[in-house]
Structures are given as structure tokens and as C-alpha cells.
Amino acid sequence: MGDKTQLLAMLLAVRFKRPLPIVLGILVATLVNHAAAGAVGGWVASALGPQVLRWVIGLSFIGMALWMLVPDKLEEGDTRIARYGVFVTTAIAFFLAEMGDKTQIATVALAARYHDLVAVVAGTTLGMLIADVPAVFVGDKLAKRVPMKLVHGIAAAIFLILGLLTLLNAGHLF
């Protein structure tokens, strides 16, 4: 609860104001990501090592903080949205956000322990939806009441804090 995927769900809802394709994008991205995590197991973590993985994740959070401060230039008629759509944008964003995330690592560990890929992926995907779908609908409501600049500022601050805490190896607090 309260992780970067929930924040991403809220931001996508605020930006696109179309909850159904966002929820479907989250579902598809989570299924693909968790299936890959379960199938691959611990290879990525062991290949990179915990220290390199920590730096990659920490710097990614800080990069997201900086990206949140870039003003939105997306308009309703933007051709990029028409070309890629809310669903594809959400699916790609969530797939990438899940890389190295706690739920992906938990999926790897559970798949290694229980050897039932379908049950593990179904359970972790359901857990992800239980956490993120409410965030989509909260974000959709926020879009009607809160200025976008404020949302971006708060999101940037959260990502910056998460990045710094990750780099300082304070991840065990979360």
C-alpha cells in the first residue's frame, strides 16, 4: 500500500480521466510482468546484485521526480494519445514501474517457493489490482478538484524522497 504503482495509477487517472482503460492496462501489465518474474525467478537480482539494483532503482525514482516537474503539454487532441491510447500508455508505464518493485520481487520469491506459476501470478496480480484500482478512481476524482501543478509537485517530492531513501539503503523501512 502507498507504493509507486498506486501513485502512478492516480497520476494516470488524473491525466487521462478514463478509468476503465487504465484498470485494464494495469491488469495486462501486471499479468505480463508477474508471469515473467515468476518464470525468470531470481536471475535478474542475482545478475545485478543487490547494490547495483539498489542504485538503479534509487536513481530511477529521482529521475521520475525530475520528470514530474516537466510541465504537461498533452492536450485532449494530442496525436500521441490517439496513436498509442490510454490502455497502451498505462500498460507500458505499469510494466516498467513494476521492474524491481516489491511485488515483482515477492512474485519471484513466491514462485521459487511454491512452484505453481499460475497460482502465484494470479494471487500477486489480484493483490496488485486490489491496491491500485481504488487509486485510479481516487485519481479520477482528484482531477476534478486539484490543480495539476500541485499534483505534479507532490508526486515529484514523493519520488525524490523514495529515491534518496533507496540510495541511502533505507528500503527496509518500507
Query: What are residue 125's phi and psi, to 5 degrees?
Result: -70, -45
In this structure, how many other beta carbons lie within 10 angstroms of the beta carbon of residue 58? 20
Q: What is the CA radius of gyration of the chain?
A: 16
Per the CB < 8 A criterion, the answer to whether 167 and 54 are in contact is yes
Q: What is the DSSP letter of 146?
A: S
Which residue in this structure is represented by grid cell 500541485? 150
Residue recorded with cell 517530492: 157
51, pLDDT greater than 60: yes
What pLDDT band is residue 20 in, cutting at 50, 70 and 90?
very high
Question: Residue 89 and residue 22: Cα distance in Å, rounded?
Answer: 9
Read off the pLDDT of residues 95-117 as tens digits, 9 standing for 90 and up. 888 877 777 777 877 776 676 78
Per-residue pLDDT tens over the stretch 4-15? 787 788 888 888
Helices (H) and strands (E) in the chain — how many of each? 8, 0
Give, in degrees to the nearest 5, the angle at Cα 44 between 39 and 46.
Answer: 115
Say if residue 146's pLDDT is above 50: yes
Higher-confidence residue of 151 and 29: namely 29
* Structural domain boundaries enclosing 131: 4-73+80-173
Pick the more confident residue, 92 or 57. Answer: 92
Which residue is it, cell 518500507?
174
Number of domains in the chain: 1
Cα–Cα distance, 80 to 78 (Å, whole number): 5
How far is residue 135's CA from residue 43's CA, in Å, rounded to a whole number? 31
pTM of the model: 0.60
